[in-house]
């Protein structure tokens, strides 16, 4: 008698599982997102035998009786990855790295695998052959005898090799190419991604082995597969950048073992990815002449202070509706700042086109760059340049007031380190600030008009 095939319907947006087709997903409210996939319940005994899992069950215990063991992170030489992970690789953690095709995800993970000289690393590739990986490895500055390459897509075969090799770190490139024999659907489907990820997470937690997963993204910029994939893993990293430029940004969007506001910056070179230890130098353009519409603001990304260049172009609107275009800045916040400049400052910006650009490809959400954005816009409007040795930081309120920002000392020290001579901050940040230990001149201001009159705008 033929075995009955079991099928289920999965939402392509969130991974919701249903026994029948539905027009609207009850979980994420997406329309026409359900697809039918063939599934098969896994044999738990077979999985335990293939992975070497003990299969023991846990019993409930009072929270007061639970003892906390201090987990020692695995040290790595890559300072940028160490920062975004929160200080090193946590044993038993599962890290998901997503990014556009060709951005350098595989190069980054292969470089990390080769740089871990004292750890045995298994790099599993389902996209490239061993010869292709070897050709890329020859261009990288690292070489290791402890890095093993496996070209395989079946999870059961991978676990058999893991059981023999017993690696200290496992890298999967990529999770969308893996298939489990317990699910009959094609690779990359919702059920396959969920099942393969679940098996890898159980392996990581039971063996205390860190697992790195490389993930594809959709045309919308989201990680391919169900949204539950991001909930299942411990850390989600986004590898961003323009393929036409050499700089890449590794951004944390979720981290159970550290901050979610950290970022690392790399430069893609012919021999691999180079860590950028001082990103402020690459975010500031080298200009011989002073140009109008350019201001430098001090911002924070996690624990790292950055000085970024804000470029504005303000011109009379030729058409009826003035244009508002932003790159790396919130368009709604720009409209708010323009309204403040019109109402509180008396500048006629309602009938002008405003184009704003944050250099370096960064997306900044820190309100501390509001003052630099306003100064950049008025500089372009008045056709008056701001001196290259002036830096600004402060949040602008609806009344035109300059509000205090956090960790002002770190911002001032970064500006002083890069050679700026003057920094404008909120007057309320001066309270408790020891100005004698800084060589840079600090201007405390409370209103926008004080800044503009001091800058002769």
- Binding-site residues sit at 99-106
d(CA 202, CA 406): 41
In contact, 148 and 188? CB cutoff 8 Å: no
Residue positions in the annotated binding site for ATP?
A: 99-106
Helix (H, G, I), strand (E, B) or coil at 297: strand
DSSP state of 455: T
| Rounded Cα distance, 421 and 429, in Å | 18
Angstrom CA distances, 350 to 112, 291, 310, 342, stand at 51, 23, 20, 7
Which whole-number Å values give the CA distances from 336 to 46, 308, 332, 342, 350, in the listed order?
60, 21, 6, 10, 12
Integer Cα distance of 108 and 47 in angstroms: 31
| All residues at 6 or more sequence positions from 82 whose CB lies less than 8 Å from its CB, including other chains | 75, 76, 88
38 touches 6 (CB < 8 A):
yes
């Amino acid at each position: 008698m033929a075995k009955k095939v079991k099928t289920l319907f999965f939402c392509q947006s969130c991974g919701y599982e249903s026994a029948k087709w539905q027009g609207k997903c009850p979980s994420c409210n997406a329309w026409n997102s359900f697809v039918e996939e063939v599934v098969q319940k896994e044999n738990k005994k077979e999985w335990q035998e293939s992975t070497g899992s003990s299969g023991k069950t846990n019993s409930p215990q009072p929270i007061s009786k639970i003892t906390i063991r201090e987990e020692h992170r695995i040290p790595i030489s890559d300072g940028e990855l160490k920062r975004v992970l929160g200080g090193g690789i946590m044993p038993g953690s599962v890290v998901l790295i997503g990014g556009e095709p060709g951005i350098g995800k595989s190069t980054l993970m292969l470089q990390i695998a080769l740089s871990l000289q004292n750890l045995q690393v298994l790099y599993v590739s389902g996209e490239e052959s061993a010869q292709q990986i070897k050709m890329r490895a020859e261009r990288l500055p690292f070489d290791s005898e402890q890095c093993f390459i496996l070209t395989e897509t079946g999870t059961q075969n991978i676990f058999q090799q893991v059981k023999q090799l017993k690696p200290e770190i496992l890298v999967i490139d990529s999770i969308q190419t893996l298939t489990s024999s317990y699910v009959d659907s094609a690779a990359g489907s919702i059920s396959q991604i969920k099942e393969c990820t679940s098996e890898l997470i159980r392996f990581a937690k039971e063996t205390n082995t860190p697992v790195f997963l490389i993930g594809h993204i959709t045309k919308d910029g989201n990680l391919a597969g169900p949204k539950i994939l991001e909930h299942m893993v411990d850390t989600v990293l986004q590898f961003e950048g323009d393929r036409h430029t050499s700089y890449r940004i590794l951004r944390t969007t979720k981290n159970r073992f550290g901050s979610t506001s950290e970022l690392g910056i790399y430069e893609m070179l012919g021999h691999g990815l180079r860590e950028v230890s001082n990103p402020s130098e690459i975010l500031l353009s080298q200009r011989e002449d002073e140009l109008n519409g350019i201001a430098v603001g001090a911002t924070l990304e996690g624990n790292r202070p950055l000085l970024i260049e804000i470029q504005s172009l303000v011109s009379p609107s030729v058409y009826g509706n003035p244009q508002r275009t932003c790159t790396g800045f919130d368009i709604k916040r720009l409209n708010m700042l323009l309204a403040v400049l019109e109402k509180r400052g008396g500048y006629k910006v309602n009938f002008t086109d405003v184009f704003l650009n944050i250099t370096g490809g960064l997306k900044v959400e820190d309100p501390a760059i509001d003052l630099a954005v306003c100064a950049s816009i008025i500089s372009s409007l008045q056709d008056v340049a701001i001196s290259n040795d002036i830096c600004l930081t402060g949040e602008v309120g609806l009344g035109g007031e300059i509000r205090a920002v956090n960790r002002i000392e770190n911002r001032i020290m970064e500006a002083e380190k890069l050679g700026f001579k003057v920094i404008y901050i909120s007057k309320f940040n001066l309270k408790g600030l020891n100005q004698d230990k800084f060589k840079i001149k600090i201007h405390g201001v409370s209103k926008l008009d004080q800044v503009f009159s001091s800058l002769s705008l």
